[in-house]
Amino acid sequence: MKRMILVGIVGIFFPTLMHAGNISKELALIFPDRTITLNFSAQPELLQNVPSHSWNVNGISLPVDFGNVLPDRTEFIDIETQFHTEISPVELQKFFESASILRDHKDKRSVEIQVAEEGNIIFEGTPHDGFEIEQEKLVQLINNALLYEKKFVRVPAKKIFSDVVVHPTLKERGIQEIIAVGESNFAGSSEARKQNIIAGANKFNGILVPKGKVFSFNHILESVEEEDGFVRELVIKGNKTEKELGGGVCQVSTTAFRAAFSGGFPITQRRNHSYAVPYYKPYGLDAAIYLGALDFRFRNNTLGDILIQTFTEGDNLFFVFYGTDDGREVVTEGPFISDYTPAPDAIVYRTEDLPKGEIVELSSAHDGFRSEWIRRVEYGNQSDIETFVSEYQPWPARQQIGTKVSMGDQGTRDMGQDNE
């Protein structure tokens, strides 16, 4: 009597994945204007193990479809099951959403930019920018690449932009069309962090960056006072996190950096965060700022001025640059992840403010690694290639453990001592 045989099981959790079958650690997704790398070591949830079944009849193997579940071996004793690794369509969709590159191609929004009598710039409408991806086709291409150990996949995608109507005064300054878009996702943020993000982004809406001038994030932000709508929330200071006014404003600087990065502008000052903050996926495209100490800057090297529009849509923050398209082509590749280091053991603080044994997590653990993005900017006969490196430290979780002894615990201990 034959029994069901399970063969070819492939682990998907780091570090098993690195040694699982012939699955490569990375797969490059090539878009029309950028390359995004799926790193299966850092994001093992992108892969799933899928069983395939066959029924052995007189030495002939016939495929049988049981879906993604194993058959009951008591009913199908002649069934052989093999596992193979595929991309998870659900997790791939989540990855694209976190990378902020998807847009609904049916959305035909346009933007009208006016100048009020007092000189204020008014945006009517929000622009639409992103990729329409043939998801099912892409999943098939990725699975084929995994099967045949290919290193890259060309994504079946089309870029979508919005129409723009601009006031004549602004047109004279070179404001004509969308030339760059930056986006980040802050889902899961506290209400305080969301408030700081919105308050910070509002300071940049309608800002003009003159031709040839350097944009300084801190110069425009200027302050994070309560009268400007900022509240206290966590910030990274040295080797710890603590609450200060404006915590979360780095979401704003990160989004501004992404617009400048995708637009091919010279980045004159930028530093990544000490550890890999989950809000800033894909990793390596964040910009940490701290008033008086750490700034983000870029230079406007286009043919005219740049006008900035900021807005939020759901849990997404946008920086849109309007200006004059000078014909430059920008291609980005990344993130390339290396030097992976697991987070160290948690740092534990004892406190009498909690009952004995109760644990409260003050901040999460983060693995350390190196992330690299390559950006190529082509303009005329010139080609500028630059590598943006981010070194993220392994970061221990910080926990509080209670030491306060209740009356009941005290009595129990005393009884134990008496028995001794």
Is residue 3's pLDDT more than 50? no
Give the Cα separation of 407 and 187 in Å (integer): 42
Q: How far is residue 46's CA from residue 91's CA, in Å, rounded to a whole number? A: 5
Query: Reduced to 3 DSSP states, what percent helix, strand and coil does the chain have, rounded to the nearest 5?
Result: 20, 40, 40
Instruction: Round to the nearest angstrom and report the end-to-end CA distance of the chain.
Output: 63
DSSP string, 281-325: TTTT-----BTTTB--EEE--SSS-EEEEEEEETTEEEEEEEE--
How confident is the model over 77-93, as a mean pLDDT? 84
Nearest-10 crossing angle of helices 191-202, 250-262 = 50
Whether 6 shows a pLDDT value over 50: the answer reads no
Cα–Cα–Cα angle for 326, 323, 270, rounded to 5 degrees: 90
Per DSSP, the three-state class of 164 is strand
Among 37-51, 82-96, 228-242, where is mean pLDDT lowest?
228-242
Provide the 10 A C-beta neighbour count for residue 198. 18
Residue listed under structure tokens 């209400």: 191
How far apart CA 92 and CA 138 sit, in angstroms, is 10
CA–chain centroid gap for 413, Å, is 50
Lowest mean pLDDT segment, chosen from 5-19, 107-121, 134-148, 344-358: 5-19
Q: Taking 60 as the threshold, does the pLDDT of residue 409 lie above it?
A: no
Mean pLDDT of 260-269: 97
pLDDT band at 120 (very low <50, low <70, confident <90, very high): very high
| Sequence spans of domains, the chain | 1-110+130-156
What distance in Å separates the CA atoms of residue 325 and residue 258, rounded to the nearest whole number?
A: 18
Weakest-pLDDT range from 54-58, 251-255, 376-380: 54-58
Span 36-54, mean pLDDT?
86
The tens digit of pLDDT for each residue in 352-408 reads 887 888 888 777 889 999 999 999 999 888 899 999 999 999 989 888 888 888 765
pLDDT at 212 over 70: yes
Q: For the residues 68-85, what does the mean pLDDT come to?
A: 65
Decide: 167 and 184 in contact? Cβ < 8 Å.
no
Q: What is the pLDDT of residues 279-304, one digit of tens each?
A: 998 899 999 999 999 999 999 999 99
Residue 414 has pLDDT above 50, yes or no: no
Cis bond before residue 335 (omega within 30° of 0): yes
252 token code pair? 């704003």
Q: Phi and psi at residue 101, in whole multiples of 5°?
A: -125, 0
Lowest mean pLDDT among 3-17, 22-36, 240-254, 314-328: 3-17
CA angle 218, 221, 222 (to 5 degrees): 80
